[in-house]
Amino acid sequence: MSVISGKTVVMSGFGKDVRAELEALFAAAGAIVTHSVSGKTQILVTGPKPGPDKVAKAQSAGAEIWDEATARAALK
């Protein structure tokens, strides 16, 4: 079982293609991928230009904030 299986994950700051790839990989690993940060968000994966509001909301919600390298490592 993957460490991200069942976790609610949001992506922020990626181009369309990279976001789509990561969302597909996380979904295949059993994550619940959403597009907005809420109290249910457990992981925010940030790209080169993350939205400051999403980062602030994720921090307030107690979510883990991962960069792309951390996210890709968790998928292996």
The one-character DSSP state at 38 is -
- pLDDT of 1 reads 60
> Taking a C-beta distance cutoff of 8 angstroms, is the pair 6, 31 a contact?
yes
Alpha helices per DSSP H over 1-76 = 16-28, 52-61, 68-74
Show pLDDT as tens, one digit a residue, over the chain (76 residues): 678 999 999 999 999 999 999 999 999 999 999 999 999 999 999 999 999 999 999 999 999 999 999 999 999 8
Angle at the Cα of 21 from the Cα atoms of 56 and 49, rounded to 5 degrees:
35
According to CATH, the topology of domain 8-74 is Rossmann fold (3.40.50)
- pLDDT of 2 reads 78
- pLDDT of 54 reads 95
Q: Identify the helix (H) or strand (E) that includes residue 53.
A: helix 52-61
Per DSSP bridges, beta strands 64-67 and 43-46 are parallel
Q: Which amino acid is at 4?
A: I
Task: Give the domain ranges of the chain.
Answer: 8-74
